[in-house]
Amino acid sequence: MNSIYKKFYRTFYSRTSYIPSKPLNKTLFPGDFFHIINGEMILLGNIFSSQIVDTKNVDFEHAIKLNTDSWKFSEGVTKPYSGRGTGNNAIDGIFEFSKQILAFESSGSFFFTSNEPEAVKIKNWSELQNELIIKLTQTYFSFRELYLITETASTSDWTLAISGSKNGELEIAIDTENFGLVDIFGHSSSKTIQSKDIEYYNRQPERKPSFFKAKKLVEQNETVQVFIDELIYQRTLLNKWGKDFYKYNLNTNHEHEAAILSNAQISILDLLPSNQLNPNTALLYFKWADASLDDIEKLFVNYGT
Protein backbone atom coordinates (compact mmCIF):
# COMPACT_ATOMS: atom_id res chain seq x y z
CA MET A 1 0.00 0.00 0.00
CA ASN A 2 3.00 2.26 0.50
CA SER A 3 3.42 2.68 -3.27
CA ILE A 4 -0.01 4.30 -3.57
CA TYR A 5 1.49 7.56 -2.27
CA LYS A 6 4.44 7.56 -4.66
CA LYS A 7 2.70 9.34 -7.53
CA PHE A 8 1.67 12.18 -5.22
CA TYR A 9 5.19 12.62 -3.83
CA ARG A 10 6.80 12.70 -7.27
CA THR A 11 4.25 15.14 -8.66
CA PHE A 12 4.45 17.33 -5.56
CA TYR A 13 8.20 17.68 -6.00
CA SER A 14 7.87 18.37 -9.73
CA ARG A 15 5.26 21.08 -9.15
CA THR A 16 6.64 22.80 -6.06
CA SER A 17 10.31 21.67 -5.75
CA TYR A 18 9.53 20.61 -2.17
CA ILE A 19 9.25 17.08 -0.76
CA PRO A 20 6.36 16.15 1.57
CA SER A 21 7.29 14.67 4.92
CA LYS A 22 6.88 10.95 5.41
CA PRO A 23 4.59 10.15 7.04
CA LEU A 24 2.48 13.02 5.76
CA ASN A 25 1.82 15.90 8.15
CA LYS A 26 5.05 15.43 10.10
CA THR A 27 6.44 18.65 11.63
CA LEU A 28 9.89 19.53 10.31
CA PHE A 29 12.32 22.37 10.98
CA PRO A 30 15.31 23.83 9.13
CA GLY A 31 18.39 22.14 10.55
CA ASP A 32 16.75 18.73 11.11
CA PHE A 33 18.95 15.88 9.89
CA PHE A 34 17.77 12.37 9.12
CA HIS A 35 18.37 9.01 7.49
CA ILE A 36 16.03 7.17 5.13
CA ILE A 37 15.77 3.57 6.35
CA ASN A 38 13.35 1.04 4.86
CA GLY A 39 11.40 3.86 3.25
CA GLU A 40 11.02 5.90 6.44
CA MET A 41 12.44 9.25 7.47
CA ILE A 42 14.32 8.69 10.74
CA LEU A 43 14.97 12.06 12.37
CA LEU A 44 18.28 12.04 14.23
CA GLY A 45 18.57 15.58 15.53
CA ASN A 46 18.78 19.27 14.69
CA ILE A 47 22.04 21.14 14.13
CA PHE A 48 20.73 24.16 16.05
CA SER A 49 19.09 22.52 19.05
CA SER A 50 22.14 20.26 19.41
CA GLN A 51 24.41 23.33 19.17
CA ILE A 52 26.42 21.80 16.35
CA VAL A 53 26.27 25.25 14.79
CA ASP A 54 26.32 28.47 16.77
CA THR A 55 22.89 30.02 16.22
CA LYS A 56 24.50 33.47 16.23
CA ASN A 57 26.10 32.58 12.91
CA VAL A 58 22.83 31.55 11.23
CA ASP A 59 20.73 33.85 9.08
CA PHE A 60 17.13 32.75 8.46
CA GLU A 61 14.73 34.11 5.87
CA HIS A 62 11.12 33.91 7.03
CA ALA A 63 7.70 34.16 5.38
CA ILE A 64 8.90 33.62 1.82
CA LYS A 65 5.80 33.80 -0.38
CA LEU A 66 5.44 30.92 -2.83
CA ASN A 67 3.46 30.57 -6.04
CA THR A 68 -0.08 29.65 -4.96
CA ASP A 69 -0.98 28.11 -8.32
CA SER A 70 1.84 25.57 -8.00
CA TRP A 71 0.31 24.28 -4.76
CA LYS A 72 -3.01 23.20 -6.27
CA PHE A 73 -2.94 20.15 -8.54
CA SER A 74 -4.37 16.71 -9.20
CA GLU A 75 -3.67 13.68 -11.34
CA GLY A 76 -6.11 11.15 -12.70
CA VAL A 77 -9.20 12.84 -11.20
CA THR A 78 -12.36 13.93 -12.99
CA LYS A 79 -15.56 15.61 -11.81
CA PRO A 80 -18.47 13.66 -13.27
CA TYR A 81 -20.91 15.78 -11.28
CA SER A 82 -20.84 19.34 -9.99
CA GLY A 83 -24.09 21.11 -9.22
CA ARG A 84 -26.44 22.75 -6.78
CA GLY A 85 -29.56 21.51 -5.07
CA THR A 86 -31.96 22.18 -2.22
CA GLY A 87 -32.71 20.31 0.96
CA ASN A 88 -35.15 20.57 3.82
CA ASN A 89 -34.86 19.92 7.54
CA ALA A 90 -37.12 20.51 10.53
CA ILE A 91 -34.99 23.28 12.07
CA ASP A 92 -33.74 25.40 9.17
CA GLY A 93 -36.38 24.58 6.61
CA ILE A 94 -35.33 24.72 2.97
CA PHE A 95 -31.63 25.26 2.31
CA GLU A 96 -29.35 25.29 -0.71
CA PHE A 97 -26.20 23.25 -1.10
CA SER A 98 -23.47 22.61 -3.63
CA LYS A 99 -22.25 19.11 -4.37
CA GLN A 100 -19.36 17.60 -6.28
CA ILE A 101 -18.30 14.06 -7.09
CA LEU A 102 -14.64 13.34 -7.69
CA ALA A 103 -13.79 10.17 -9.63
CA PHE A 104 -10.29 8.68 -9.39
CA GLU A 105 -9.18 6.72 -12.46
CA SER A 106 -6.50 4.54 -10.86
CA SER A 107 -4.79 3.53 -7.66
CA GLY A 108 -2.62 6.46 -6.56
CA SER A 109 -4.69 9.09 -8.36
CA PHE A 110 -4.95 12.14 -6.13
CA PHE A 111 -6.38 15.60 -5.60
CA PHE A 112 -4.41 18.21 -3.63
CA THR A 113 -5.25 21.80 -2.79
CA SER A 114 -3.79 24.36 -0.39
CA ASN A 115 -3.72 28.06 0.40
CA GLU A 116 -1.10 30.71 1.16
CA PRO A 117 2.09 28.66 0.88
CA GLU A 118 5.21 30.19 2.37
CA ALA A 119 8.68 29.04 3.37
CA VAL A 120 11.48 29.48 5.89
CA LYS A 121 15.06 28.77 4.86
CA ILE A 122 18.65 28.94 6.04
CA LYS A 123 19.73 32.00 4.09
CA ASN A 124 23.50 31.66 4.56
CA TRP A 125 23.80 27.94 3.88
CA SER A 126 26.93 28.49 1.74
CA GLU A 127 28.73 29.87 4.79
CA LEU A 128 27.86 26.84 6.93
CA GLN A 129 28.17 23.88 4.57
CA ASN A 130 31.89 23.17 4.94
CA GLU A 131 31.80 23.53 8.71
CA LEU A 132 28.92 21.06 8.82
CA ILE A 133 30.73 18.48 6.68
CA ILE A 134 33.62 18.44 9.14
CA LYS A 135 31.42 18.35 12.23
CA LEU A 136 28.93 15.78 10.96
CA THR A 137 31.53 13.38 9.56
CA GLN A 138 34.42 13.86 11.99
CA THR A 139 34.21 15.91 15.16
CA TYR A 140 30.60 15.47 16.36
CA PHE A 141 29.49 12.40 14.37
CA SER A 142 30.90 9.98 11.82
CA PHE A 143 28.10 10.05 9.24
CA ARG A 144 28.81 8.76 5.73
CA GLU A 145 25.29 9.43 4.44
CA LEU A 146 22.89 12.05 5.75
CA TYR A 147 20.06 14.40 4.79
CA LEU A 148 19.88 17.90 6.26
CA ILE A 149 16.80 20.12 5.87
CA THR A 150 17.68 23.62 4.72
CA GLU A 151 14.17 24.91 3.99
CA THR A 152 10.63 24.10 5.09
CA ALA A 153 7.30 25.16 3.64
CA SER A 154 3.81 25.38 5.11
CA THR A 155 0.34 26.46 4.04
CA SER A 156 -2.53 28.05 5.91
CA ASP A 157 -4.40 24.81 5.15
CA TRP A 158 -4.22 21.89 2.77
CA THR A 159 -6.40 18.96 1.75
CA LEU A 160 -5.37 15.73 0.05
CA ALA A 161 -7.27 12.70 -1.20
CA ILE A 162 -5.52 9.63 -2.66
CA SER A 163 -7.37 6.72 -4.18
CA GLY A 164 -6.63 3.14 -3.24
CA SER A 165 -8.06 1.67 -6.46
CA LYS A 166 -9.16 2.52 -9.99
CA ASN A 167 -12.73 2.92 -8.77
CA GLY A 168 -12.11 5.55 -6.10
CA GLU A 169 -14.86 8.10 -5.60
CA LEU A 170 -15.46 10.99 -3.24
CA GLU A 171 -18.75 12.86 -2.85
CA ILE A 172 -18.61 16.16 -0.99
CA ALA A 173 -21.11 18.95 -0.34
CA ILE A 174 -21.33 22.38 1.25
CA ASP A 175 -24.48 24.13 2.41
CA THR A 176 -23.17 27.69 2.15
CA GLU A 177 -25.64 29.81 0.23
CA ASN A 178 -24.56 31.45 -3.02
CA PHE A 179 -21.35 29.42 -3.04
CA GLY A 180 -21.71 28.74 -6.73
CA LEU A 181 -20.13 25.92 -8.70
CA VAL A 182 -16.54 26.57 -7.70
CA ASP A 183 -14.42 23.79 -6.19
CA ILE A 184 -15.59 22.85 -2.73
CA PHE A 185 -12.85 20.28 -2.16
CA GLY A 186 -10.75 21.56 0.72
CA HIS A 187 -13.24 24.18 1.90
CA SER A 188 -13.46 24.39 5.69
CA SER A 189 -17.26 23.96 5.60
CA SER A 190 -17.42 21.08 3.13
CA LYS A 191 -18.69 17.71 4.31
CA THR A 192 -18.06 14.22 3.02
CA ILE A 193 -21.29 12.57 1.90
CA GLN A 194 -19.68 9.28 0.98
CA SER A 195 -16.35 7.86 -0.18
CA LYS A 196 -15.33 4.70 -1.99
CA ASP A 197 -11.85 3.13 -2.05
CA ILE A 198 -10.13 6.29 -0.80
CA GLU A 199 -6.81 5.32 0.81
CA TYR A 200 -6.01 8.74 2.29
CA TYR A 201 -8.24 11.76 2.90
CA ASN A 202 -7.18 14.52 5.23
CA ARG A 203 -7.59 18.24 5.70
CA GLN A 204 -4.87 20.05 7.66
CA PRO A 205 -6.58 23.23 8.94
CA GLU A 206 -3.51 24.90 10.48
CA ARG A 207 -0.13 26.07 9.27
CA LYS A 208 2.33 23.24 9.81
CA PRO A 209 5.82 22.88 8.23
CA SER A 210 5.50 19.46 6.63
CA PHE A 211 7.25 20.09 3.28
CA PHE A 212 10.96 20.55 2.84
CA LYS A 213 14.07 20.97 0.74
CA ALA A 214 17.20 19.18 1.87
CA LYS A 215 20.86 18.68 1.16
CA LYS A 216 22.34 15.20 1.19
CA LEU A 217 25.87 14.28 2.18
CA VAL A 218 27.61 12.51 -0.69
CA GLU A 219 31.11 11.48 -1.66
CA GLN A 220 33.26 13.65 -3.90
CA ASN A 221 33.00 11.96 -7.29
CA GLU A 222 35.95 13.91 -8.64
CA THR A 223 38.46 11.70 -6.84
CA VAL A 224 36.85 8.33 -7.65
CA GLN A 225 38.76 7.83 -10.91
CA VAL A 226 42.10 8.23 -9.13
CA PHE A 227 41.24 5.32 -6.85
CA ILE A 228 39.90 3.19 -9.71
CA ASP A 229 43.09 3.72 -11.75
CA GLU A 230 45.11 2.61 -8.74
CA LEU A 231 42.89 -0.46 -8.32
CA ILE A 232 43.40 -1.43 -11.97
CA TYR A 233 47.16 -1.02 -11.61
CA GLN A 234 47.21 -3.09 -8.42
CA ARG A 235 45.14 -5.80 -10.08
CA THR A 236 47.66 -5.95 -12.92
CA LEU A 237 50.46 -6.50 -10.43
CA LEU A 238 48.38 -9.15 -8.64
CA ASN A 239 47.86 -11.08 -11.86
CA LYS A 240 51.60 -11.09 -12.54
CA TRP A 241 52.29 -12.22 -8.98
CA GLY A 242 49.67 -14.96 -9.24
CA LYS A 243 51.33 -16.49 -12.29
CA ASP A 244 54.58 -16.83 -10.36
CA PHE A 245 53.10 -17.87 -7.01
CA TYR A 246 50.66 -20.57 -8.12
CA LYS A 247 52.27 -23.51 -9.88
CA TYR A 248 49.78 -23.92 -12.68
CA ASN A 249 48.84 -22.04 -15.82
CA LEU A 250 46.58 -19.01 -15.30
CA ASN A 251 44.69 -17.24 -18.02
CA THR A 252 43.79 -13.72 -16.86
CA ASN A 253 41.54 -11.27 -18.69
CA HIS A 254 42.94 -7.91 -17.67
CA GLU A 255 40.76 -5.89 -20.08
CA HIS A 256 37.57 -7.43 -18.71
CA GLU A 257 38.57 -6.78 -15.10
CA ALA A 258 39.50 -3.18 -15.91
CA ALA A 259 36.09 -2.59 -17.52
CA ILE A 260 34.27 -3.99 -14.48
CA LEU A 261 36.27 -1.81 -12.08
CA SER A 262 35.72 1.30 -14.21
CA ASN A 263 31.92 0.84 -14.01
CA ALA A 264 31.78 -0.29 -10.40
CA GLN A 265 29.90 1.72 -7.77
CA ILE A 266 32.91 1.98 -5.47
CA SER A 267 32.96 3.93 -2.23
CA ILE A 268 36.08 6.03 -1.88
CA LEU A 269 35.83 5.72 1.88
CA ASP A 270 36.29 1.95 1.70
CA LEU A 271 39.60 2.43 -0.12
CA LEU A 272 41.17 5.04 2.13
CA PRO A 273 44.19 4.05 4.21
CA SER A 274 43.69 4.16 7.96
CA ASN A 275 43.52 7.69 9.43
CA GLN A 276 43.55 9.37 6.01
CA LEU A 277 39.99 10.60 6.58
CA ASN A 278 40.17 13.21 9.34
CA PRO A 279 38.97 16.78 10.08
CA ASN A 280 41.72 18.19 7.85
CA THR A 281 40.83 16.05 4.81
CA ALA A 282 37.04 15.63 5.12
CA LEU A 283 36.31 18.31 2.52
CA LEU A 284 38.31 16.31 -0.04
CA TYR A 285 35.96 13.36 0.26
CA PHE A 286 32.50 14.81 1.05
CA LYS A 287 30.19 17.42 -0.43
CA TRP A 288 26.52 18.43 -0.31
CA ALA A 289 24.04 17.79 -3.11
CA ASP A 290 20.35 18.65 -3.47
CA ALA A 291 17.81 16.01 -2.49
CA SER A 292 15.83 15.10 -5.61
CA LEU A 293 13.52 12.55 -7.23
CA ASP A 294 16.10 9.83 -6.63
CA ASP A 295 15.70 10.39 -2.91
CA ILE A 296 11.92 10.28 -3.16
CA GLU A 297 12.39 6.80 -4.65
CA LYS A 298 14.18 5.78 -1.42
CA LEU A 299 11.08 6.77 0.55
CA PHE A 300 9.20 3.99 -1.23
CA VAL A 301 11.74 1.19 -0.94
CA ASN A 302 11.17 -1.35 1.79
CA TYR A 303 14.21 -3.57 2.08
CA GLY A 304 12.39 -5.91 4.42
CA THR A 305 10.10 -7.22 1.69
Q: Is residue 223 within 8 Å of residue 282, measured between CB atoms?
A: no
Distance CA 142, CA 140 (A): 7
184-222 in b/e burial notation, b at 16+ Cβ within 10 A? bbbbeebeeeeeeebbebebbeeebbbbbbbbbbebeee
Q: What is the pLDDT of residue 188?
A: 87
Q: What is the pLDDT of residue 164?
A: 96
CB atoms within 10 A of CB 249: 6
Q: What is the pLDDT of residue 59?
A: 97
Q: Is residue 173 within 8 Å of residue 197, measured between CB atoms?
A: no
CA atoms within 13 A of residue 174's CA, in its CB half-sphere: 17
pTM of the model: 0.85
pLDDT tens per residue, the chain (305 residues)? 578 999 999 999 999 999 999 999 999 999 999 999 999 999 999 999 999 999 999 999 999 999 999 999 999 999 998 887 666 565 555 557 788 999 999 999 999 999 999 999 999 999 999 999 999 999 999 999 999 999 999 999 999 999 999 989 999 988 765 555 457 899 888 889 999 999 999 999 999 999 999 999 998 876 666 666 766 666 676 666 666 666 666 565 555 555 555 555 566 677 677 788 889 989 988 999 999 999 999 999 875 44
Q: Is residue 47 within 8 Å of residue 148, measured between CB atoms?
A: yes
Residues 6+ apart with CB under 8 A from 152: 28, 29, 30, 119, 120, 121, 209, 210, 211, 212, 213
Distance CA 183, CA 170 (A): 13
Q: What is the pLDDT of residue 269?
A: 74
Distance CA 209, CA 279 (A): 34
Q: What is the pLDDT of residue 305?
A: 45
Backbone angles phi, psi at 13, to 5 degrees: -65, -45
Residues 6+ apart with CB under 8 A from 177: 95, 96
CB atoms within 10 A of CB 59: 11
